Amino acid sequence: MTARAPAAAPPAEATTGRDAILRAARRAFTQRPYAEVTIRGVAADAGVSASLVVKHFGRKEELFNTVADFGPAADELFDAPPDRLGRHMVLTLVHRRRERQTDPLLRVVFSLGNHDERSLLRDRFQAQVTGRLAALLPGPDADLRAELIAGQLLGLGATLSLHRTGAGALATPEHLADLYAPALQKLVTG
Amino acid sequence: MTARAPAAAPPAEATTGRDAILRAARRAFTQRPYAEVTIRGVAADAGVSASLVVKHFGRKEELFNTVADFGPAADELFDAPPDRLGRHMVLTLVHRRRERQTDPLLRVVFSLGNHDERSLLRDRFQAQVTGRLAALLPGPDADLRAELIAGQLLGLGATLSLHRTGAGALATPEHLADLYAPALQKLVTG
């Protein structure tokens, strides 16, 4: 008798609506000022009812918090000792992208397309990613090095998304880490 | 008698309308499919008349070609021998950003926000930036290394834009190059 593996994910139907809402919410909160985003607009973009959005995610503030939360991604990306952090970050980013068909950080970049002076999404990123990373780094210039490391992670995600059928899409995570991680490690070590 | 420097730029009024149109066109072509962009929409977003858009940039196809052309940026970024290219790219990117208040490459990333399968803007970037760079690189994995270098350039622009008042904004171009260029140089050299 063979033990069956537990289901890895909820049934397709349930995730489709949820995922469509999340994608629509990401588009909305990254491309428009917070004040202009409505549950109704997100629902229309996702092709579902407003009440389904509220059922899954709550009101606008909770929906924003779900979309804007970089905490879980940072937990995974930064979960290694400093002397191995560079390689760990590259492998984690690539694995997460491939498994979940979405980049853990890149959505913050879309918020640069709208020309608000401030953006709640960018504030979250700065606190949960760059600020947290700076606190982990030994040595001088920690703030600047954290910004540059964040840039390298965003750049890796950006180029893999831009060249969706390119050389990066065909490369193994280990090969990508061989080429890309030494630079990150150098910025970590200082 | 003191010789006066020649005017560095056209008068403010002339550039304001032109710049507003360019910014609106960048938003439109990066955030929406080509077929959905109209001269009228760009003009409305820029706060000018459609005829002024046509006067400055011609019809939609010419306006797209102006927005989508990464050729001049690539000319500047890649204008150094391979053994100094890493540092040259960082310095050129930072100087260009600071002088012109705009990033030479980053707009291609905003095109990832719309979920078309293909994008003319991404095609241009791949040909004019990544493809051209790959042809310059000696050694194996040139296509993959070119994609990763493009990623590092996009990541540098992204992080400087995200942390507009951060450590990167205060750092000199030379300091940024000291920290960021060795990684690029390593990918150039192979």
- Predicted confidence (pLDDT) per residue in A138-189, tens digit: 999 999 999 999 999 999 999 999 999 999 999 999 999 999 999 999 999 9
Best of A112, A133, A188 to disrupt the B interface (most B CBs within 10 Å) is: A112
Residue B95: band (very low, low, confident or very high) from pLDDT cuts 50, 70, 90: very high
Scanning A133-172 for CB atoms below 8 A from B yields 141, 143-148, 150-163, 166-168, 171
Which tokens is B111 given?
């095109």
pLDDT of residue A50: 95
Residue range B12-67 forms a domain whose CATH class is: mainly alpha
Percent of chain A with pLDDT strictly greater than 70:
88
Look at residue A1 and tell me whether its pLDDT is greater than 70.
Answer: no
Show the CA angle centred on residue B158, arms to residues B153 and B159, nearest 5°: 105
Look at residue A48 and tell me whether its pLDDT is greater than 80.
Answer: yes
Which tokens is B17 given?
């309308």
Enumerate the residues of chain B whose CB falls inside 8 A of the CB of residue A108.
Answer: 162
Look at residue A8 and tell me whether its pLDDT is greater than 50.
Answer: no
Look at residue A24 and tell me whether its pLDDT is greater than 60.
Answer: yes
pLDDT of residue B115: 57
Enumerate the residues of chain B whose CB falls inside 8 A of the CB of residue A158.
Answer: 109, 112, 151, 154-155, 158
Q: What is the mean pLDDT of chain B?
A: 88
Q: Extract long-range pairs of A174-180: CB within 8 Å, 24+ residues apart.
A: A174/A91, A175/B144, A176/A90, A176/A94, A176/B148, A177/A87, A177/A90, A177/A91, A177/A94, A179/B141, A179/B144, A179/B145, A179/B148, A179/B187, A180/A90, A180/A152, A180/A156, A180/B148, A180/B151
Instruction: Please state which of the ranges A63-77, A105-119, A145-159 shows the lowest mean pLDDT.
Output: A105-119
Burial of B14 (0-12, 13-18, 19+ CB in 10 A): exposed
Residue B126: band (very low, low, confident or very high) from pLDDT cuts 50, 70, 90: very high
Instruction: Calculate mean pLDDT across residues A121-136.
Output: 95
A173 SS3 class: helix
Tell me which residue in B151, B160, B162 faces A156 most closely, judged by beta carbons.
B151
Question: How many C-alpha atoms does B114 have within 13 Å on its Cβ side?
Answer: 20
Instruction: For B69-89, write each residue's pLDDT tens digit.
Output: 999 999 999 999 999 999 999
ipTM: 0.84
Helix (H) or strand (E) holding A158: helix A142-162
Distance CA B72, CA B65 (A): 12
Percent of chain A with pLDDT strictly greater than 90:
68
Best of B27, B101, B152 to disrupt the A interface (most A CBs within 10 Å) is: B152
pLDDT of residue A29: 84
pLDDT of residue A119: 78
Question: CATH for B71-189, among 1.10.357.10, 1.10.1040.10, 1.10.630.10, 3.40.50.1010?
Answer: 1.10.357.10
Which tokens is B65 given?
């070609």
Q: Which of A33, A25, A28 is nearest to A63 (CA)?
A: A25
The answer to whether A108 touches B113, Cβ cutoff 8 Å, is no
Scanning B4-63 for CB atoms below 8 A from A yields 23, 27, 30-31
CA A59 to chain CA centroid, nearest Å: 22
Instruction: Calculate mean pLDDT across residues B172-187.
Output: 96
Q: Where are the domains of chain A?
A: 12-67, 71-189
The runs of H, that is alpha helices, within B32-172 are: 39-46, 50-57, 60-68, 71-77, 85-100, 107-110, 120-125, 132-136, 142-162, 167-170
CB contact under 8 A, B158 and A109: yes
